[in-house]
Amino acid sequence: MELILDKVSRQYGTKMACSNICLRLTPGVYGLLGANGAGKTTLMRMICGVLKPTSGTITFNQADVHSEAYRDRLGYLPQDFGYYPEFTAQNFLLYLASLKGLSRTTAKKKTLELLSVVSLEKEAKRKIKTFSGGMKQRLGIAQAMLNNPSILVLDEPTAGLDPKERVRFRNLISRLGRERIVLLSTHIVSDVEYIADTIFLMKDGKLLHQGSPQKILQLLEGKVWECLLPPAYAEKLCTEKSFPIVNIRQEEENVLLRLVSSQKPSEDAMAVTATLEDLYLYYFSEEASL
Ligand SMILES: Nc1ncnc2c1ncn2[C@@H]1O[C@H](COP(=O)(O)OP(=O)(O)OP(=O)(O)O)[C@@H](O)[C@H]1O
């Protein structure tokens, strides 16, 4: 099973939202990481066949993504998925199952099975308007799974989840990714740090890096430092902006700076282990609020 993107680009007028993207996806969990406007939604919509590339090709097992056969194997949770607030969770899934052409008996069986997969079996008869953000997202994943897809595409599925819901979500995705291609986009690093086998780092429509979290982190090896400095000196370093500062923390009368630099930034700076968060803030420092 493989999904291949070959030199895929998408332009909106003069804006290049995705530029020359080449990817090969086999079963596993893939995290598409990028700041707002990086091109994640555009890329996912092209992968789902909802949007045509301006140039390049996307194929699944050598078939075009606009074929019906592909659509049957695809599950998609768009960013702005519309729920019907007055429906119960179960009726909502039954309704979507009928739209997807499942028979009544299969739909009923599948709906109950999926409500259990996303841990909503006890809420089956509750109206969606009473659900938390996390419960709605899990229901969204359940609807994307109705056709038992080989490719599951989730656009910002963790938006609005609290920490407990995030953990539950991660566990669910890890399980689903064992036998299918799961691609999820986020700008929250911790959501992909533990579950993604491969991370795609996107900026300004381009794919900057791809690889396992460990491989991606090697980019910053030996370049992340922490230094405890008097406030005046720390402020000087920050305003001079000679290094990307990834974190600032007040420590009693001093300031602890975490920064990225290929050289030791000050006499008593300590080299620390890089995290994906450092990497993200390093690449997206203009957009991120430090
Ligand atoms: N229909 C459109 N017409 C014109 N420009 C668009 C359109 N859709 C997206 N863009 C632009 O293309 C770029 C990529 O947008 P996209 O929504 O793919 O980014 P994103 O990474 O998903 O962002 P976010 O995290 O905010 O959803 C942005 O600059 C956006 O303004």
| Helical segments of 205-273, H only | 213-217, 231-240
Cα of 290 vs centre of ligand 1, distance in Å, is 23
User: Using a 6 Å cutoff on CB, does residue 147 contact ligand 1?
Assistant: no
pLDDT score, position 242: 66
Query: Atom 6 (ligand 1): residue with closest C-alpha?
Result: 12
Which segments in the chain show pLDDT lower than 50?
287-290
β-partners of residue 146 are none
User: Using a 6 Å cutoff on CB, does residue 198 contact ligand 1?
Assistant: no
In ligand 1, the atom with minimum distance to the C-alpha of 42 is 18
Please name which of 32, 48, 50 lies closest in space to residue 40, comparing C-alpha atoms: 32
Residue type, 76: Y
Q: How far apart are CA 279 and CA 106, in angstroms?
A: 46
Cα of 17 vs centre of ligand 1, distance in Å, is 6
Checking phi first, is residue 211 left (phi over 0); if not, alpha (psi -120 to 50) or beta? left
Q: pTM (2 decimals)?
A: 0.88
User: Using a 6 Å cutoff on CB, does residue 14 contact ligand 1?
Assistant: no
pLDDT score, position 241: 61
pLDDT score, position 161: 76
SS3 174: helix
Cα of 33 vs centre of ligand 1, distance in Å, is 14
pLDDT score, position 290: 34
SS3 76: strand
Strands 151-155 and 181-186, by their bridges, are parallel
SS3 9: strand
Cα of 37 vs centre of ligand 1, distance in Å, is 5
The ipTM, to two decimals, is 0.96
